[in-house]
Every structure is written in structure tokens, then in C-alpha cells.
Structure 1
Amino acid sequence: MNKKLLIVDDEAHIRMLIEQTLEDLEDEGVQLLFADNGEAALSIIQKEKPDLVFLDVMMPKMNGMEVCQRVKKELKLTDTYIILLTAKGQEVDRQKGLDMGADKYMTKPFDPDEMFEIAEEILMK
């Protein structure tokens, strides 16, 4: 299996936390990729076409909503499953994220077990 998972967050400690949460997937052949801003994320998504992206919303250069919209609506990478991560848990924010093309919306602080289960479900299907 040659699956790719991209972790995008401008905060290094959050990237590390997500990596620690998901590193067991590497034993299943999943390659973990990382970006620390929206522009870098978009570039990696275009080049690597990851199967799953955990995408922070609030980031410099290009926010997660913009990245999501570009990937889904302009690049038409509909097979790339995008989960937006945000501290904003209001319904209006969730709806905006889904309107931009996000497949799922998770509120920080997230449950590592839930995150792993979701990643495993998406990548192992």
C-alpha cells in the first residue's frame, strides 16, 4: 500500500502531536508528509496527491479554507480527503469549511484516538 497523509499546521508542537498520534500508520505503509503553511501545503498536495490531509484553518500565507477550496474546486482533487482542524467550533465555521469542500471538520483540542480511527478508516479502505 502506498498511501500518503499530509499534516498541515503552522505550530510545530501541533504537527508533532499529530505525527505521534498517527505514526503507527507508517507500519501500515502510510507515508507522512508535513507543511507549516497553506502555500507549502498546496504545493505538496499538487505534487504528492496525498490520500488524506489534516489541515489547520488558521495559518499564515494561505489559510486552510483557501487551500481546501483550491484543492477541491480548482484542482478538482476530489479523491484527496481533507479534514479541517480548527479552534473555532461554531456551526457557521463548520458549515463554511464544508462549503469550501472539506470532507470533515474537527475541533481542537482533538481526541487523538478519534483522529487515529478516522485516519485508519480513510486510508485502509
Structure 2
Amino acid sequence: MTLQRVMHVEDDESIRAVAEIALIDVAGFTLLSCDSGQSALAQVETFKPQLILLDVMMPGMDGLQTLMRLRQLAPLDSTPVVFMTAKIQQVEKQQYLDAGAIAVIEKPFDPMLLGEMLENLYQEYVVAQ
């Protein structure tokens, strides 16, 4: 099974724009881009993402809070989540993994490689299940 539907949750408009180019134009994914955790929760069940790319630092509801709320929705309790953050220290990275993320990607990311990176993480997740 190949990765096709990705939800990206990011409050920074410029990062969302770069990710859209990387994930739609370069990687060929179907992408739902959300500007907040609240927006993601409102649209996620209709979109049915195969993978969620989630920013850590967001106003209102941060990435960890968003992940906890997503896990309460039955169809999303096992959807793989990859956190993306500019602030990456080993203790924090472990906290995100312990919360259920399958990986943590550091900002700034390489837009030309983002789709391939997500596809590889998704395949590793599928094989492990």
C-alpha cells in the first residue's frame, strides 16, 4: 500500500506553502492542509488521511494536544503521525515518540525529499503493523 493522502497541520503559512509544493507537486500526494489543531479535528474524519504531519508549536492547541484529540477519534486511533518542529532536543523528541508519533522531522526540511521521507516512514509503519 502506497501513501496517497496526507494531512498537514501547520500554523505558519509560509511553511504550509512549501509543504504543499513538496507534497503535491513533487511527491504527488493528495494533501489536506490545516492551519490549526481545531481545523484538523473538524476535517480529519472526512479526509481520512493515511498519515498526519503535525507541527509541534501552534497557538491554541499545540501538536501534542492535537494528537491526543485525534487519538480519541476511532478511525484515527492508529493513523501514523509525524511531528515537525524547529525545536528538537532528544528529551522532547522522545516525548513526541512516547506520545505515539512514528518520527520527528526537523525544520527546516528539504522540500525535495519530504515526500520520499514520509513515504519511507509510512512503509516502515505499515510493515511493522
TM, length-normalised to structure 2: 0.80
% identical equivalent positions: 37
The alignment covers a number of residue pairs equal to 120
- Larger deviation, residues 89-98 vs 74-83: 74-83
| Alignment check: 8 A CA contact 2:9 2:54 kept | yes
Unaligned regions of 5+ residues in structure 2, if any?
none
* Alignment of 1:10 onto 2:15: no
2:27 is paired with a residue whose SS is helix
Q: CA deviation at 1:2?
A: 8.9
Kindly provide the CA deviation profile for residues 76-106 of structure 1, in whole angstroms up to 9, marking residues without a partner as x.
Answer: 5244221101111101111111122111111
1:55 is paired with a residue whose SS is strand
1:110 is paired with a residue whose SS is coil
AA paired with 2:94? Q
2: CA distance, partners of 1:110 / 1:12:
15
- Runs ≥4 residues deviating over 3 A: none
AA paired with 1:49? K
1: CA distance, partners of 2:85 / 2:77:
21
Q: 1:103 to 1:92 in 2, by over 3 A?
A: same
1:88 is paired with a residue whose SS is coil
1:69 is paired with a residue whose SS is helix
Kindly provide the CA deviation profile for residues 35-73 of structure 1, in whole angstroms up to 9, marking residues without a partner as x.
Answer: 00111112222332211111111112211111112223x
AA paired with 2:114? M
Q: Which one of 16, 24, 27 corresponds to residue 25 of structure 1? A: 27
Instruction: Tell me what 1:38 maps to.
Output: 37
Q: CA deviation at 1:108?
A: 0.8
2: CA distance, partners of 1:61 / 1:108:
21
| Alignment check: 8 A CA contact 1:2 1:31 kept | no
2: CA distance, partners of 1:66 / 1:116:
25
Instruction: Tell me what 2:73 maps to.
Output: 75
1:83 is paired with a residue whose SS is strand
Give 1:89-108 correspondences, 5 Å limit: 89-108=88-107
* Alignment of 1:85 onto 2:87: no
1: CA distance, partners of 2:106 / 2:83:
8
